[in-house]
Amino acid sequence: MVTDCGHCPLRKRDVFEPLTDDEVAFMRRFKVGELKIDPGTTVLMEGSNSPQLFSVLSGLGLRYKLLPNGRRQVVNFVFPGCFLGLQAGVMGEMKHSVEASSAMVLCVFDRASLWNFFKSQPTRAYDLTWLAAMEEHFMGEALTSIGQMNAVQRMCWGLLRYAARCTDLGINDGDHYPFPFTQQDLADALGLSLVHTNKTLMKLRERGMLSLSDGVLILHRPEEMQEQSMLPVTSPARRPLI
Amino acid sequence: MVTDCGHCPLRKRDVFEPLTDDEVAFMRRFKVGELKIDPGTTVLMEGSNSPQLFSVLSGLGLRYKLLPNGRRQVVNFVFPGCFLGLQAGVMGEMKHSVEASSAMVLCVFDRASLWNFFKSQPTRAYDLTWLAAMEEHFMGEALTSIGQMNAVQRMCWGLLRYAARCTDLGINDGDHYPFPFTQQDLADALGLSLVHTNKTLMKLRERGMLSLSDGVLILHRPEEMQEQSMLPVTSPARRPLI
DNA sequence: CGGAAGCTTGACGTCTATCAAGATGTGTGG
DNA sequence: CCACACATCTTGATAGACGTCAAGCTTCCG
């Protein structure tokens, strides 16, 4: 059973801009299927030139780059509403990999018809550019965080930012946030070693700021975390959904 | 005297894709003027909503984010051919500032007519998206560098990447590259302190890998720097120019 | 039961930040 | 022309943050 674009459960959330009927019809044609994947599945590989593009309907994942020496940098978290494969779509190949951390459901699109966005759906093309600019923004924030902040600050900022994105999507339960990631994932995202990530987490736990276990993150004192983190964490306004 | 888009000196370089006559005509209409600025001038400010967009004709600069505590992260270098203001154009406000490090000449565009790209120039809109994806790619690389590499590795990678971009544009003279930046700029780009940046530079100088003084960077042994840097530095293929 | 994956903790070393001071060069005003 | 301020680069000393190594613990699963 494939979700119809006209009844997209994601688009009902008011963080996402509504579409005209015409646009919905276009998306229906653009969508070629749906993909359900297990945790750990690689969706896109760095260097690959996937014939398919994806939009995340549900589930959480990671974007990351691998280094020749085996190290890994997580460049962003993947949330419902993320569009995957734009780089391959326009630049010819992915510059990072994408992996599912929980079960995920993806809308599948045909890469070859990406050009139709630009040719016949200028508002949708504009939305694509919007999303690319958004990714750039997220990465700039992460870069600033890793480049200028210490372990505690990075972790506060990173988890607040994560929680803010969850809240936008309504996938949290009050101050409880789904967190299907390992400490190694978190370490790779923050540019810290696993051990130091663990110790930093402990420090924040002891301060009563957060809990993290069994795939659930709880933020007990977001205000204090915000003070720690230097970079203000703000939710962007309403955004497009591809 | 304003440069005519039909005779754009940049577009002659074969890293940039050629335009059709129709596209050139469109760009001519889109371009509202030219701006010459001195070193140190701020072109765009984080949080601002500039009514103008820019394309760099010549000169070098920096994109950076400022933190409340006065620290600064340089998120990228600005080269000729860079398009400035896309974030403000689509997202409503800039997420970083842009500053000139040398004298610069900018093509000035009217932000309000950005929408015309999408409405009437699908190939140009596509190019915009291409550039946004490109920026994302650069930032992902920088993030990986800062998150996973030590000072020597970061510096080797950062300077190699810088040199590669210079070479693409032909603004180098053999292994001599213009470098109108201070060590503080470099430190802020690499996520290192000024002192440590200086000492790391010294180390590389003593190894005979590079020279850096009086605004000129010389790379004596790029191969060794490449070995150091883990992340391979590759020049992207031909790219669009707005 | 044995093994794998993830989490936790302590010990130790090193990389990097911070502090402080001096050197050099440049532009400005007297 | 000199004095001075200012920016930039340089260097040493010191301390702290973070990485690495190593080991043990728990949970889960075949």
Give pLDDT tens digits for B110-133: 999 999 999 999 999 999 999 999
Q: Which nucleotide is nearest to B152 (CA to C1')?
A: C15
Contact: B129, A134; criterion CB under 8 Å: no
For B157-216, the pLDDT digits (tens) are 999 999 999 999 999 999 999 999 999 999 999 999 999 999 999 999 999 999 999 999
User: How many residues appear in chain A?
Assistant: 242
Q: Which nucleotide is nearest to B196 (CA to C1')?
A: C16
**A89-93, A97-101, B158-162, B164-168 — which is least confidently predicted?**
A89-93
Of A153, A60, A90, which Cα lies nearest the Cα of B237?
A90
Average pLDDT, chain B: 96
For A24-74, the pLDDT digits (tens) are 999 999 999 999 999 999 999 999 999 999 999 999 999 999 999 999 999
Tell me the one-letter amino acid at B55. S
What token pair was written down for A204? 């924040």
Query: How many Å from the CA of A202 to C1' of C1?
Result: 33
Contact: B71, A148; criterion CB under 8 Å: yes
pLDDT band at A230 (very low <50, low <70, confident <90, very high): confident
Rg (CA), chain A: 18
pLDDT score for B217: 98
Average confidence (pLDDT) over B96-119:
96
Of A36, A151, A91, which Cα lies nearest the Cα of B17?
A91
Contact: A191, B147; criterion CB under 8 Å: yes
- For residues B180 and B101, give the distance between their C-alpha atoms in angstroms, rounded to a whole number: 6
3-state secondary structure string, chain B? CCCCHHHCCCCCCCCECCCCHHHHHHHHHHEEEEEEECCCCEEECCCCCCCEEEEEEECCEEEEEECCCCCEEEEEEECCCCEECHHHHHHCCCCCEEEECCCEEEEEEEHHHHHHHHHHCHHHHHHHHHHHHHHHHHHHHHHHHHHHCCHHHHHHHHHHHHHHHHHHHCCCECCEEECCCCHHHHHHHHCCCHHHHHHHHHHHHHCCCEEEECCEEEECCHHHHHHHCCCCCCCCCCECCC
Residue A237 Cα, gap to closest chain B Cα (Å):
9
Chain B residues lying within 8 Å of A231, measured CB to CB: 67
Rounded to the nearest 10°, the torsion over CA A157, A160, A166, A172 is 150
- For residues A183 and A189, give the distance between their C-alpha atoms in angstroms, rounded to a whole number: 10
Instruction: Please report how many Cα atoms fall inside a 13 Å half-sphere around the Cα of residue B127, on the Cβ side.
Output: 20
Confidence check: pLDDT of A97 > 80: yes
- For residues B15 and B2, give the distance between their C-alpha atoms in angstroms, rounded to a whole number: 23
- For residues A230 and A225, give the distance between their C-alpha atoms in angstroms, rounded to a whole number: 9
Confidence check: pLDDT of A105 > 80: yes
Average confidence (pLDDT) over B80-90:
95
Task: List alpha helices for A122-193, DSSP H.
Answer: 122-148, 151-169, 183-190
pLDDT score for A101: 98
pLDDT score for A238: 87
Planar angle of CA B237, A82, A148, nearest 5 degrees? 75
For A125-135, the pLDDT digits (tens) are 999 999 999 99
pLDDT band at A139 (very low <50, low <70, confident <90, very high): very high
In total, the C-beta contacts within 8 angstroms joining chain A to chain B are 143
What are the backbone dihedrals phi and psi of residue B236, each rounded to the nearest 5 degrees, phi first? -70, 160
Whose structure tokens read 């530095």? B233
A208's enclosing H/E stretch is none
Query: How many Å from the CA of B201 to C1' of D1?
Result: 38
Tell me the one-letter amino acid at B178. P
pLDDT score for B220: 97
pLDDT score for B86: 96
pLDDT score for A237: 77
A186 touches chain B (CB under 8 A): no
Whole-structure pTM value: 0.95
Please, what sign has the CA dihedral across residues B195, B196, B197, B199?
positive
What are the backbone dihedrals phi and psi of residue A138, each rounded to the nearest 5 degrees, phi first? -60, -45
**A99-108, A158-167, B144-153, B225-234 — which is least confidently predicted?**
B225-234
What token pair was written down for A36? 């359900």
Planar angle of CA A152, A156, A157, nearest 5 degrees? 115
Bridge pairing between strands A97-100 and A61-66: antiparallel
pLDDT score for B189: 98
Give the full edge-to-edge strand order of the sheet including A72-78: A42-44, A97-100, A61-66, A72-78
pLDDT band at B54 (very low <50, low <70, confident <90, very high): very high
pLDDT band at A236 (very low <50, low <70, confident <90, very high): confident
